[in-house]
Structure 1
C-alpha cells in the first residue's frame, strides 16, 4: 500500500499515535467521520504521518498511524471515477464539474482535495459557501508548460477560487506559480519547503 499526501484514510481513532493529548474537537471529528489525511512529513518506520481536520480552518491536529491499521484508503483521484458531486447544490461542486472536463481533456491523473475531497470521501458535509476548491494533480513526469498555462487560464474564469497543487516524485508545487515561468518554484517536500529548479527531480 503506497500512502501519499492528500490520501484520506479510514481508521479507528484508538490506533492514532500522538505525543500530546488529542484535543476534544479532534476526537469529536473522528466520531463523526473516522478519516485522517496523509501529511507530508517524515514518520517513524512502519508509521505514516496523518492529520485530523475539524470544522474550522484553524482546527488541524498532527499525529501518526501504524500503516497496518488503515481500514480504507481513498486517493483524490479515486473520487473522480463517478461524478457523485453533481447532485450537490453548491458553487464549489459546480466548479468541480467544470474543472473535471478540463483536467480530463488533458488525460491527467487528478482529484479534489481539502474540504471537497473530505466531504465526498466521508459523506459528511464540510463544504461551506466560503470554501475554495483544492485540486491535486499526480504528475510522475513533467507537465508541459503550455498545458499548465491553459489550465490556469481556464480556471481563472471560475467564480470559485481554485488552487491546483502538482504532486511529483520529489514533492508538491503550485501550478499557478509554475506557469509564471520563473527559474525556481517553491517545492514542498517531506524535509520541508525549498526552492527548486526541477520539481520532478529535485536533489535531496
Structure 2
C-alpha cells in the first residue's frame, strides 16, 4: 500500500494516537465520518501522519495511525473518476467540470483535495458556498514553465478560486507560484518547507 499526502483514509477512531489530548470535537467528527487525510509530516516506521477535520475551519487536529489499521484508502484521483460530483450543484463541484476539461487535455493524473475531496469520500456535506477548490496534480516528470503559465491562465476563468497543488516524488508546491517563474518555489516536504529551483531534481522522499 503506497500512502501519499492528500490521500483519505477510512479508520476507527480507537486506532489513532497523539502526543497531546485528542479534542472532543475530533472524536465526534470521526464518529460522524470516520475519514482522515494524510498529512505531509514524517511519521515513524509503520505509522502514517493523519489530520482530522471538524465542522469549523479552525478545527484541525494532527495525529498518527498504524498503517495496518487503515480500513480503506481513497486517492484524490480516484474521487475524480467516480463522477458523483457531476450531480452536485455547489460552485466548487461545478468548477470541477472546468478543471476536467482543462487538465484532461494535458494527460495529468489529478483529483480534488480539501473540502471537496472530503465530501466526496465521506458522503458528509462539507463544502459551502464560499469554499475554494483544491486540485491535486500528480506530476512525477518536469512540467515546463510555459505549460504551467498556460494552465494557470485557463483556470482564472473558473467560477471559484482554484488552488493547484503539484505533487512530485519529493513534495508539493503551488503551480501558481511556479508559473510566475520568479525564482525558487516553496517545496513542502515531510521534513518541512524548503526553497527549490527544480522540485523534480530533489531527492525522493517517501511517507
Please give the residue correspondences for 1:12-161 in structure 2 after superposition, counting only pairs within 5 Å: 12-161=12-161
Name the SS for the 2:181 alignment partner: coil
Query: Counterpart of 2:199 in 1: which secondary structure?
Result: coil
Uncovered stretches (5+) of structure 1, i.e. residues with no partner = none
Cα shift at 1:140:
0.8
- Taking the aligned partners of 2:146 and 2:74, their CA distance within structure 1 comes to 30
Q: Which runs of 5+ in 2 are unaligned?
A: none
Give the SS at the match of 1:177: helix
Task: Flag the structure with more relative contact order, 1 or 2, with Cα contacts below 8 A and sequence separation at least 6.
Answer: 2
1:131 counterpart SS class: coil
- Report whether the alignment pairs 1:196 with 2:183: no
- SS state at 2:82 partner: coil
Q: CA deviation at 1:36?
A: 0.5
Query: Does structure 2 conserve the Cα–Cα contact (< 8 Å) formed by 1:169 and 1:201?
Result: no
Indicate how the Cα distance of structure 1 residues 3 and 203 shifts in structure 2: closer, same or farther if over 3 A, else same: closer
1:170 pairs with 2:173? no
State the SS of the aligned residue for 2:201. coil
TM-score by length of 1: 0.97
Distance 1:15 1:121 in 2: 20
1:203 Cα deviation from its structure 2 partner: 4.8
CA drift of 1:145 comes to 2.1
| Distance in 1 of aligned mates of 2:98 and 2:175 | 18
What number of residue pairs does the alignment pair up? 204
CA RMSD between the two structures: 1.1
Q: TM-score, normalised by structure 2?
A: 0.96
> In 2, distance between residues paired with 1:144 and 1:4?
24
Instruction: Name the residue aligned to 2:179.
Output: 179
